[in-house]
Structure 1
Amino acid sequence: MESINKDLFKTVSEDRKKTHEKARPSFTYWQDVWRRFKSNKLSIVGLVIIIIIVLFAVVGPIFSKFNYYTNDYSSANLAPNGTHIFGTDNLGRDLLTRVMWGGRISLTIALVASIISFVIGIIYGGISGYFGGTVDNIMMRIVEGVASLPLMIYVILIMVIVGQGMASLIIAIALTYWVDMARIVRGQILQLKQEEFVLAAKTLGASSKRILLKHLLPNTMGPIIVNLTLNIPNAIFTEAFLSFVGLGVPAPQASWGTLCSNALGSYQMYPYQLLFPALALCVTMFGFNFLGDGLSTALDPKMRK
């Protein structure tokens, strides 16, 4: 076999190697979203806060040796101590356990109501924005009619029909929060349906249902996710307000708003009874708002570098 002449080859210089290196690693859209999200310290702080609060509310009661409903008048209004870390209320119930259960109720109501409003809003807003014209006008007039009624009216009417409890709060909050979601989705659809990829899908014979579900709605997920994230703390605050004025879950159940309302009459003598549920409510609100702001920045294509 004829030997290869080594003089025909030469070692590539380091400068020549660098010309073939990538300017930066390539990322998918969601990888790039995560990269921008984790670079925002407040976003990570918000995510950590939410994880801690969820564990506190969901897992915490499992390890508590007290329950939220048993009265012990001999231990009423105890200050925080080694046995009752958050103290006790006027009926001798462990306040830490009640704050945990209150968090479970508040988070459940807010999360379920937000998911229901999310589903209704994207379907309603998607149909309205895609078909436009008379359909859009009629559907938007319905939205304006729903938005014109105060939340309190929905709550009272639903409580008359369904009764007081978590279900009535979830329905009332969902019936008011889907309106904003529908408006956001409609605006995004009105803008996106003019794009060329929609025209291409129509040319290929795609049905309106397929265009809406496969092409338009997935491209609106950024604003939708941000709005959903910010809706949850709003729903928590709304539920707390309704519980504070006596329209919350029935006793002995208690959300954070109910605990604050119960403690208000004696907060000067027992300030800890108001401090701990109010602090849990505030920290949760901050956590979701930090997370929402971070997602808003991370999901914005204009921020991509």
Structure 2
Amino acid sequence: MPTFIIIYFVMIGININPIIPQWSLVLIQSLLMIILGISGVHHVISLKTNEVKKELFVVAAKTLGASKRHILLQHILPALRGNLLIMLVSEAILVLHLIGQLGIFNLFFGGTALQFVPPIYLSITHEWSGLIGQARGFMYHSHWIILFPLIAYVLFLFCLYLISAGLNDVQKSKTRKASLL
């Protein structure tokens, strides 16, 4: 089941005209995204860790009697550092996509204020996805209202994508430089 659907149905009741403070709503949304996203991250990290554990330098350290803590801190974490950084940027992109999807459906990060006459959903925190979501009704007659937050949001996502691609290239070049025995 997509993460968006779970978060949408959990947050729909407490996000619109919230009675709890804004900081606690942000905390709830953040924790919900972390809890739902941690399983995929855990799976990828465990696969990468198992690959590193099979490397000769880790096997040699075990043979020489190194403790599990030493192997983790001195061998596994340095080998995974590049992959963890790439994963961090990729997960940031996914979280921004998720916040954008929720913004399109009037669930803004930090809370949604609903005005009843006329019925308008307003972002309490005025973040980019909230501004895009609340201005989508102006798409046909006042393009400039939605244009600038949309450009900023897409540009930010594009910059994060370029950072991720650059980190991938650096990581691939590091693994190619490893000498063959």
Q: Would you say same fold, with TM above 0.5? A: yes
Match in the other structure for 2:42: 182
Question: Using the alignment, how far apart are the partners of 1:268 and 1:159 within structure 2?
Answer: 27
Alignment of 1:79-228 (within 5 A): 148=1, 150-154=3-7, 156-157=9-10, 165-228=25-88
Q: How many angstroms does 1:151 deviate by? A: 3.6
Question: Using the alignment, how far apart are the partners of 2:78 and 2:54 within structure 1?
Answer: 15
- Structure 1 residues 159 and 269 mapped into 2: Cα distance closer, same or farther (>3 Å)? closer
Are 2:170 and 1:298 aligned? yes
Question: Using the alignment, how far apart are the partners of 1:159 and 1:199 within structure 2?
Answer: 51
Question: Using the alignment, how far apart are the partners of 2:175 and 2:75 within structure 1?
Answer: 21
Question: Using the alignment, how far apart are the partners of 2:38 and 2:171 within structure 1?
Answer: 21
User: How many residues are aligned here?
Assistant: 158
**Contact 2:93/2:161 (<8 A) preserved:** yes
Matched to 1:198, the amino acid is V
**Contact 1:151/1:176 (<8 A) preserved:** no
Of 264, 275, 280, which aligns to 2:147?
275
Q: How many angstroms does 1:216 deviate by? A: 1.1
| Runs of 4+ in structure 1 over 6 Å off | 158-162
Q: Which has the higher strand share?
A: 2
Match in the other structure for 1:285: 157
Give ranges in structure 1 of 5+ residues lacking alignment. 1-147
- Structure 1 residues 158 and 214 mapped into 2: Cα distance closer, same or farther (>3 Å)? farther
**Contact 1:230/1:292 (<8 A) preserved:** yes
Matched to 2:65, the amino acid is G
- Structure 1 residues 149 and 287 mapped into 2: Cα distance closer, same or farther (>3 Å)? closer
Question: Using the alignment, how far apart are the partners of 1:160 and 1:211 within structure 2?
Answer: 47
Whose Rg is larger? Answer: 1
**Contact 2:106/2:134 (<8 A) preserved:** no
Q: How many angstroms does 1:254 deviate by? A: 2.0
Question: Using the alignment, how far apart are the partners of 1:272 and 1:151 within structure 2?
Answer: 28
Give the structure-2-normalised TM-score.
0.74
Give the structure-1-normalised TM-score.
0.46
More deviation in 210-219 or 292-301? 210-219
Give ranges in structure 2 of 5+ residues lacking alignment. 114-123
Question: Using the alignment, how far apart are the partners of 1:268 and 1:158 within structure 2?
Answer: 29
- Structure 1 residues 294 and 267 mapped into 2: Cα distance closer, same or farther (>3 Å)? same
Which structure has more RCO (C-alpha within 8 Å, separation ≥ 6)?
1
Match in the other structure for 1:229: 89
